[in-house]
A and B are shown apart, each in its own frame.
Chain A
Amino acid sequence: KAGVTQTPRYLIKTRGQQVTLSCSPISGHRSVSWYQQTPGQGLQFLFEYFSETQRNKGNFPGRFSGRQFSNSRSEMNVSTLELGDSALYLCASSLEEGLRGGYTFGSGTRLTVV
């Protein structure tokens, strides 16, 4: 079956711009989470959506936002980009609400802010 699909794979933006990243979870998965990975901070949780509702949010400024659609696809948006937002953004999906199994991650979107 198809895995988690993230688009685009690579993106270059200028400071001050905004960006939208897309994630298509595995078919049937209702939970979608987003993570940011940087060399300095490692993998950090951004937010998690389940059935179109944000259930949890990490410690990121309000410039980072997201949403989930009725087909479970999710988008995240970063407004007023800063150089420090350059990172690999990863999306993960899972089948169960009360997760005891594993998340399936996509390959990520590499965002470079110049």
Chain B
Amino acid sequence: DAKTTQPNSMESNEEEPVHLPCNHSTISGTDYIHWYRQLPSQGPEYVIHGLTSNVNNRMASLAIAEDRKSSTLILHRATLRDAAVYYCILRPSGAGSYQLTFGKGTKLSVIP
């Protein structure tokens, strides 16, 4: 499986934007970039995914580099509820069974 690299931890002030980076230099052309987050004492929660173009949804935005070797998850206005571990995962496209390979993720702390 292609590997992702994320910072171990990041801090943000409440109500400020947060940019969570992810490097995936060995990504293949058919890998989707997925982001999940895990709040304390809960299962992971799907955040967003994309292939080549930037993506937006109600939770976040995903900015994908032109060469696809890196991506950034953007939380536009951090709240205390966004404090979680954020995982960047590469997932092959197409039919079939594909497990999610979780790394250690980035622990985001939000300061009031």
Chain A interfacial positions (CB closer than 8 Å to B): 4, 31, 33, 35, 42-45, 48, 50, 55-56, 58, 90, 92, 97-108
Contact = CB atoms under 8 A, between A and B. Distances in A.
B43 A90 contact: yes
Contacts, number: 63
A73 B21 CA distance: 36
B93 interface: yes
Interface stretch (B7-15, B67-75, B95-103): B95-103
Interface string B68-96: 00000000000000000001000101111
A106 B45 CA distance: 9
Given A42-B102, A43-B102, A98 B34 contact: no
Contacts of B45: 105
Interface of B: 32, 34, 36, 41-47, 49, 87, 91, 93-104
B62 to A, nearest CB: 12
Contacts of B47: 102
Nearest to B44: A105
B13 to A, nearest CB: 28
Given A98-B95, A99-B91, A45 B101 contact: yes
Contact of A106 (B32, B41, B43, B98): B43
Contacts of B97: 31, 48, 50, 55-56
A87 B93 CA distance: 30
A95 B47 CA distance: 16
B44 A43 contact: yes
Contact of A102 (B49, B94, B95, B99): B49
A105 B42 CA distance: 9
B89 to A, nearest CB: 10
Q: Which of A4, A58, A100 has the most CB of B within 10 A?
A: A100
B97 to A, nearest CB: 4
B45 to A, nearest CB: 7
Given A48-B99, A99-B98, A105-B44, 10 more contacts: A4-B43, A43-B44, A45-B99, A90-B44, A100-B49, A100-B91, A102-B34, A105-B43, A105-B45, A107-B43
